[in-house]
Amino acid sequence: MIAWILLSWAPAARAQDGIAALRPAIEARFPEVSWIDGATLQRWLREPRPVVLLDARAADEFRVSHLEGAVRVDPDAPDLSRIRPPAGARVVVYCSVGWRSASVADVLRRHGLADVYNLEGGIFRWANGGGRVVRDGAPVRAVHPFDATWGLLLREPLRAYRP
């Protein structure tokens, strides 16, 4: 219901505004989660300190595209035994818009990982802003829109299917 209310007034041309409107609800549900914006992540990825990228979307979404080097983690039941970042690494979790990734980041934080961040606006904001996404290691200009309603937050040329 919240998605439909937010999206009913947000045409595709204003996708970034619609994504930004979601942040207060996500923060209210996961108040302890730290956030990172795309520009900061771009900078971190160029630095020598390691960054572990975790994609908290469904397998079908991940197969369409993901951030380069990302590892998919089940957003409903993250396998913490598989998440072993190197010493000193920052962990950045993302999903479509930030809700599922905030949930995973919160679980990781509660299990002792201190340097965990939620990517603000998720892969939608990242791709809408020109950020690189890949499929099978090759750059693509397609992102899974999750569904027809949430896909309105993703610029139309990027939607892997058209709602």
CA atoms of 14 and 103, how far apart (whole Å): 26
* Residues 6+ positions from 30 with CB-CB distance below 8 Å: 102, 103, 105, 106, 118
């961040």: which residue's tokens? 117
pLDDT at 8: 45
What pTM did the predictor assign?
A: 0.89
Long-range contacts of 82-85 (CB under 8 A, 24+ apart): 83/52, 83/54, 83/108, 83/113, 85/50, 85/52, 85/113
For the chain, the structural domain boundaries read 33-158
Tens-digit pLDDT profile for residues 48-57: 999 999 999 9
Measured distance CA(96)–CA(124) in Å, rounded: 6
Superfamily of domain 33-158: Rhodanese-like domain (3.40.250.10)
Amino acid at 121: G
Residue 83 has a CB neighbour count (10 Å cut-off) of 19
Of all residues in the chain, the percent with pLDDT exceeding 70 is 90
**Beta strands 71-72; 34-36: pairing state:** unpaired
For residue range 115-161, list pLDDT tens digits in order.
999 999 999 999 999 999 999 999 999 999 999 999 999 999 999 87
Q: How big, in percent rounded to 5, are the helix, strand and coil portions of the chain? A: 40, 15, 40
